[in-house]
């Protein structure tokens, strides 16, 4: 026999009234807290409303109208709690509440809107659009048109990769940052011969082709003048760690993606994740186990995978020279380092944009420079050591294995001391390469190693008068260096200055070549005018 049947009708009525009054009080309190943006408090009250509704529903009242009212209240409580959770970036729990609300009312407008916005924050553009469509949001005619328009645009960008930063560059990086969405181009993750897993091209691509765009899980930045001590850097690092930990704790989706990253140990034994899980259209939480991410492992992962925005090998658009930032960009973290890199990264806002720095063949591993690769072997070894690895790239093997290494070591020491005539160093290296019969890419490797000497000679009229006829022309050196290590603004600057010296600045062929080199640095995300502006001013922007 049911409990309620035992009660006389009057008592039953009284109980219902009390229940309704309590519910009404709780609802007013929760709404007030929500409006005052006291989200934690409102979550607690909505939790009480949910329990109360569930308790009343479980009593299975025969009154259909009352039951329906309870279901409506329950749906709204889940929906509002989802909204409050989303405001606190507790995305996993918020999504769970959205599902509960939608189970009660499939087309609940507020919930669909809330779910769509959460999915948009998690870069799931098309799923977010589905929610907005299901809510019948008319972009022309309501207050949510901005969010729907933004979602449509990001969905389009993530499918096509047709980003364009021309206006922003031409405006001198003023105003709103250009819109970026996550994008996964012709890439896949595979076992790497360099170390653990790596990212590989799935088709032939030419220099400048966009390969991926990834939004930071977290990034921390500060303007730090050169004389700021270690403490200032530690503060940025600590803030950054706190932000990553917070995101991972609040969203299991983020936690599961972070757990795929290397913690630096036993990289050869690591699982190779499907590229699909990083795509904006991927299912949420596609059955990935996330238990293993303790704090120790998290810190090791951040140690191995975080990137500096201001590293010499990256380009940060729109910021000044004292600006420092550290962040975690998940898919880009699968890219190994190489001293003959074939991709580059550009930091724009919270996004890292990765593109080919020279022509790349299908099946080639994509690598970028974790540190400055226009430097000699021993300097690079030191920098790799600071990163915690011994570089196993082709160029290091080549430079390590050859019989002339004693002689190049002497040149390296002389370059380090900086007291010798740089022209004599370049001449000695060029003569040496002739004797050692170094050809093709090998030449580019060694010229890149001693780039500082080359650039000092090409940049000095006096040295050029003295050595110009005895060493190769700047253009030929630039070609081999770009072929070996990809485009770099310092190399392109020498090319442009060479053109000016030769009085041929502005010729169609020369400008075409400069544009190709520029695409290697900045990628195909801007039109010619913007590229020209950056090439012309490169070095004075930051």
Contacts of 41 (CB under 8 A, 6+ apart): 33
Residue closest to 278 by CA, chosen among 178, 356, 197, 337? 197
- Cβ-based nearer residue to ligand SAM, 261 or 496: 261
User: In whole angstroms, how far apart are CA 135 and each of 21, 113, 114, 121?
Assistant: 32, 7, 10, 18
Q: Applying CB under 6 A, which part among 23-31, 335-343, 436-444, 489-497 lies near ligand SAM?
A: 335-343
Mapped onto helix, strand or coil, the DSSP state of residue 90 is coil
Question: In the stretch 495-534, what mask flags binding to ligand SAM with x, by CB under 6 A?
Answer: ----------------------------------------
- Please say whether the beta carbons of 482 and 306 come within 8 A: no
- Binding residue for ligand SAM (CB under 6 A) from 388, 419, 439, 469? 388
Q: Applying CB under 6 A, which part among 50-58, 216-224, 245-253, 328-336 lies near ligand SAM?
A: 328-336
Residue 337 forms beta bridges with which residues? 368
| Residue 445: CB minimum distance to ligand SAM, A | 14
| Residue 387: CB minimum distance to ligand SAM, A | 6
Q: Does 195 bind ligand SAM (CB under 6 A)?
A: yes
Q: Does 194 bind ligand SAM (CB under 6 A)?
A: yes
| Residue 257: CB minimum distance to ligand SAM, A | 12
Determine the length of the chain.
542
Q: Does 369 bind ligand SAM (CB under 6 A)?
A: no
Q: Does 345 bind ligand SAM (CB under 6 A)?
A: no
- Cβ-based nearer residue to ligand SAM, 185 or 273: 273
- Cβ-based nearer residue to ligand SAM, 178 or 325: 325
Q: Applying CB under 6 A, which part among 36-44, 193-201, 293-301, 452-460 lies near ligand SAM?
A: 193-201
Residue closest to 88 by CA, chosen among 54, 121, 48, 56? 121
Helix, strand, coil distribution of the chain in percent, nearest 5: 55, 10, 35
Structure tokens at 537: 């001013």
Total binding residues toward ligand SAM, as defined by CB under 6 A: 24
User: In whole angstroms, how far apart are CA 84 and each of 49, 99, 130, 335, 439?
Assistant: 14, 15, 22, 37, 64
- What would you report as the CA-atom Rg of the chain, rounded to the nearest whole angstrom? 30
- Binding residue for ligand SAM (CB under 6 A) from 338, 449, 538, 541? 338
- Binding residue for ligand SAM (CB under 6 A) from 389, 404, 427, 436? 389
Q: Does 228 bind ligand SAM (CB under 6 A)?
A: no
Q: Does 408 bind ligand SAM (CB under 6 A)?
A: no
- Cβ-based nearer residue to ligand SAM, 96 or 441: 441
Residue 27 and residue 21: Cα distance in Å, rounded?
10
Q: Using CB atoms, what's the residue nearest to ligand SAM?
A: 196
User: In whole angstroms, how far apart are CA 502 and each of 178, 471, 505, 518?
Assistant: 37, 16, 8, 20
Residue 189 and residue 273: Cα distance in Å, rounded?
7
- Please say whether the beta carbons of 433 and 411 come within 8 A: no
Burial label for 501, CB within 10 Å (0-12, 13-18, 19+), is middle
Residue in the structure block whose two tokens are 């929500």: 34
- Cβ-based nearer residue to ligand SAM, 73 or 305: 305
- Cβ-based nearer residue to ligand SAM, 173 or 387: 387
Q: Does 197 bind ligand SAM (CB under 6 A)?
A: yes
Q: Does 333 bind ligand SAM (CB under 6 A)?
A: yes
- Cβ-based nearer residue to ligand SAM, 204 or 262: 262
Residue 459 and residue 437: Cα distance in Å, rounded?
28
Residue 152 and residue 329: Cα distance in Å, rounded?
23
Q: Applying CB under 6 A, which part among 9-17, 231-239, 383-391, 422-430 lies near ligand SAM?
A: 383-391
| Residue 253: CB minimum distance to ligand SAM, A | 19
- Cβ-based nearer residue to ligand SAM, 267 or 452: 267
| Residue 396: CB minimum distance to ligand SAM, A | 8
Burial label for 265, CB within 10 Å (0-12, 13-18, 19+), is exposed
| Residue 201: CB minimum distance to ligand SAM, A | 16
Q: Does 101 bind ligand SAM (CB under 6 A)?
A: no
| Residue 469: CB minimum distance to ligand SAM, A | 38
- Binding residue for ligand SAM (CB under 6 A) from 163, 334, 368, 454? 334
Mapped onto helix, strand or coil, the DSSP state of residue 365 is strand
Residue closest to 432 by CA, chosen among 466, 402, 460, 457? 402
Question: In the stretch 235-264, what mask flags binding to ligand SAM with x, by CB under 6 A?
Answer: --------------------------xx-x
Q: Does 392 bind ligand SAM (CB under 6 A)?
A: yes
Question: In the stretch 262-291, what mask flags binding to ligand SAM with x, by CB under 6 A?
Answer: x-x--x--x---------------------
Q: Applying CB under 6 A, which part among 141-149, 387-395, 459-467, 471-479 lies near ligand SAM?
A: 387-395
How would DSSP label each residue in 47-81? HHHHHHHHHHHHT--S-HHHHHHHHHHHHHHHHHH
Residue in the structure block whose two tokens are 């409506």: 72
Residues within the interface to ligand SAM (CB under 6 A): 192, 194-198, 261-262, 264, 267, 270, 304-305, 333-334, 336-338, 387-389, 391-393
């Amino acid at each position: 026999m049911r409990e309620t049947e035992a009660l006389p009708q009057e008592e039953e009525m009284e109980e219902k009234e009390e229940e309704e009054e309590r519910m009404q009080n709780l609802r007013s309190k929760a709404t007030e807290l929500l409006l005052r943006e006291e989200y934690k408090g409102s979550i607690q009250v909505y939790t009480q409303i949910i329990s109360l509704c569930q308790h009343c529903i479980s009593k299975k009242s025969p009154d259909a109208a009352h039951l329906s009212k309870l279901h409506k209240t329950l749906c709204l409580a889940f929906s509002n709690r989802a909204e409050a959770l989303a405001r606190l970036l507790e995305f996993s729990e918020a999504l769970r509440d959205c599902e509960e609300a939608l189970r009660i009312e499939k087309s609940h407008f507020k919930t669909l809107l809330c779910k769509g916005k959460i999915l948009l924050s998690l870069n799931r553009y098309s799923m977010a659009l589905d929610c907005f469509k299901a809510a019948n949001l008319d972009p022309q005619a309501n207050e949510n048109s901005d969010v729907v328009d933004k979602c449509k645009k990001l969905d389009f960008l993530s499918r096509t990769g047709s980003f364009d930063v021309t206006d922003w560059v031409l405006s001198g990086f003023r105003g709103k940052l250009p819109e970026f969405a996550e994008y996964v181009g012709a890439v896949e993750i595979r076992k790497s011969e360099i170390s653990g897993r790596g990212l590989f091209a799935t088709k032939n691509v030419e220099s400048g082709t966009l390969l991926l765009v990834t939004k930071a899980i977290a990034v921390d930045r500060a303007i730090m003048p050169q004389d700021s001590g270690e403490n200032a850097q530690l503060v940025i690092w600590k803030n950054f760690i706190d932000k990553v930990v917070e995101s991972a704790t609040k969203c299991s989706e983020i936690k599961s993606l972070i757990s795929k990253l290397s913690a630096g140990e036993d990289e050869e034994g690591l699982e190779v994740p499907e590229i699909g899980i990083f795509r904006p259209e991927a299912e949420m939480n596609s059955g990935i186990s996330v238990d293993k991410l303790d704090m120790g492992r998290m810190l090791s992962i951040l140690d191995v995978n975080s990137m500096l925005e201001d590293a010499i090998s990256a380009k940060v658009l729109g910021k000044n020279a004292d600006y420092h930032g550290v962040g975690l960009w998940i898919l880009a973290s699968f890219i190994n380092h190489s001293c003959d890199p074939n991709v580059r990264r550009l930091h724009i806002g919270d996004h890292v944009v990765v593109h080919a720095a020279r022509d790349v063949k299908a099946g080639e591993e994509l690598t970028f420079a974790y540190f400055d690769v226009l430097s000699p072997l021993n300097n690079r070894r030191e920098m790799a050591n600071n990163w915690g690895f011994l570089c196993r790239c082709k160029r290091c093997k080549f430079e390590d294995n050859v019989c002339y290494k004693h002689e190049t070591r002497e040149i390296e020491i002389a370059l380090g001391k900086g007291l010798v005539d740089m022209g004599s160093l370049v001449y000695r290296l060029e003569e040496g390469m002739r004797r050692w019969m170094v050809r093709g890419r090998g030449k580019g490797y060694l010229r890149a190693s001693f780039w500082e000497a080359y650039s000092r000679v090409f940049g000095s009229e006096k040295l050029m008068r003295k050595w110009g006829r005895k060493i190769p022309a700047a253009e030929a050196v630039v070609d081999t260096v770009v072929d070996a290590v990809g485009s770099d603004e310092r190399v392109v600057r020498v090319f442009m200055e060479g053109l000016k010296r030769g009085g041929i600045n502005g010729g169609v062929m020369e400008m075409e070549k400069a544009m190709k080199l520029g695409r290697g640095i900045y990628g195909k995300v801007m039109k010619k005018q913007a590229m020209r502006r950056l090439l012309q001013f490169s070095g004075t922007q930051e």
